[in-house]
Amino acid sequence: MGAQTVVADVADELARRVATGVYAPGDLMPSVRQVADEFEMNRATAQLVLGRLESYGFVDAHRGRGFTVRDVRHTGGLDVYRRLFRLSMHEPELAADIFRNIVATERVIVLEALLDYTEAERELDPSLLRAAIDELEIEARADDPDAVRMLEIEIGLVRDLLTELGHSMQRAVLNSVGEMLFEVPEAVRAYFAASADLHVLVWRALLAVWESGSGPSEAQLALFEDLFAMFHEKVVAHFEELVGLAAEGPESAARHAV
């Protein structure tokens, strides 16, 4: 195992401790000597580990004091949140809480993109959208659908809509959200709590609206928003099952769903 691999592995372990609260915000991190002793490495490598942890955004360096733990849940950026989510999988409550935030962010971006594109002058070549939906349907009907590939296709569709709308900031955030999801298999699987065919049906219905040029009624839009909200509630509930949170019992599951 190379030195860089050791540094990355130990930095991830220390980051996991920060993520799960073993080291609380404001705590002083173990010193270079303590890290070196615990992980049986020389002090130069231990210094690299703590420097890596700082680059992750999990600690702050203070001259003469060492490193203190950051409140990553409240002050971390997207890169910090991405790592935090990946490292939280052994703590179901924390993982579910982070996932709910990710889903809420994704939901706002996707719903806004779909509604805005429905109301806008649509210039995106329908054949490109149709080809992506065709690919989605082929994957959905496979004996063992590839959830990763299906989610990639769906995120790609939304990314194309955001590009067409000129929503570059939302596109950037969606890219980061996608990266968070793809690093956690349970998160990807959660998006297919319902039949994969239903995903295809929704996109086919949207494409029909866009191609018709007439647009949906206010009642149809309201129904779509309600169905979209219900879908994401199922996604969160399925994720909780996958990480073992729902197994704690119906009262616990209800509490975490609030």
Please say whether the dihedral angle defined by the alpha carbons of residues 29, 35, 39 and 43, taken in this order, is positive or negative. Answer: positive
Q: Which two tokens stand for residue 188?
A: 């990807």
pLDDT (mean) for 9-29: 93
- Indicate whether 249 pLDDT > 70: no
Out of 60, 75, 90, a domain closes at 75
> 161 and 252, same structural domain?
yes
pLDDT at 210 over 80: yes
Confidence at 130, pLDDT banded by 50, 70, 90: very high
Q: What is the pLDDT of residue 255?
A: 43
Domain match, 125 and 70 both: no
182 vs 198: CA distance, rounded Å:
21
Q: Which among 22, 27, 13 has a CA at the least distance from the CA of 56?
A: 13
Statement to judge: residues 67 and 191 lie in one domain: no
- Who's near 216: CB < 8 A, 6+ residues apart? 118, 209, 224
pLDDT attached to residue 2: 56
Bridge partners, 62 (sequence order): 66
Indicate if 198 and 224 belong to the same structural domain.
yes
Q: Domain holding 27: CATH number?
A: 1.10.10.10
pLDDT band at 123 (very low <50, low <70, confident <90, very high): confident
Is 139 found in the same domain as 104? yes
Question: Do 219 and 106 reside in the same domain of the chain?
Answer: yes
Answer yes or no: do 47 and 147 share one domain. no
Q: What is the CATH number of the domain that holds 125?
A: 1.20.120
Q: pLDDT grade, residue 246 (50/70/90)?
A: low
pLDDT digits (tens, 9 = 90+) for 77-101: 888 888 999 989 888 999 999 999 9
**What DSSP designation does 176 have?**
H
103-107, 214-218, 223-227: which is most confident: 103-107
- Measure the CA angle with vertex 122, ends 120 and 127; round to 5°: 150
Are residues 92 and 56 located together in one domain of the fold?
Answer: no
Query: How many domains does the chain fold into?
Result: 2
Q: What is the pLDDT of residue 65?
A: 86
Q: What is the pLDDT of residues 30-51, one digit of tens each?
A: 999 999 999 999 999 999 999 9
Sequence-ordered list of residues with C-beta below 8 angstroms from that of 24, at least 6 positions apart, any chain: 69
Q: Pick from 44, 75, 106: which residue ends a domain?
A: 75
**What mean pLDDT is predicted for residues 202-223?**
85
Contact between 192 and 199 (Cβ < 8 Å)? yes
DSSP state, residue 226: H
**CA gap 89, 92 in Å, rounded:** 6
Rounded mean pLDDT, 215-230: 86
Query: Which DSSP string do the residues of 3-52 spell out, in sequence order?
Result: HHHHHHHHHHHHHHHHHTTSS-TTPBPPPHHHHHHHTT--HHHHHHHHHH
> What pLDDT does 220 receive?
82
For residues 37 and 142, state if they share a domain: no
Average pLDDT over the chain reads: 89
Rounded to 5°, the CA angle 152-154-226 comes to 140
Are 93 and 61 within one domain?
A: no
Question: Sorting pLDDT into bands at 50, 70 and 90, what band is 3?
Answer: low
51 & 87 share domain: no
Domain coverage including residue 235: 79-257
> Do residue 56 and residue 106 come from a single domain?
no
Token pair, residue 44, equals 């130069």
Token readout for 129 is 């959208």
Domain boundary among the residues 54, 75, 96 is at 75
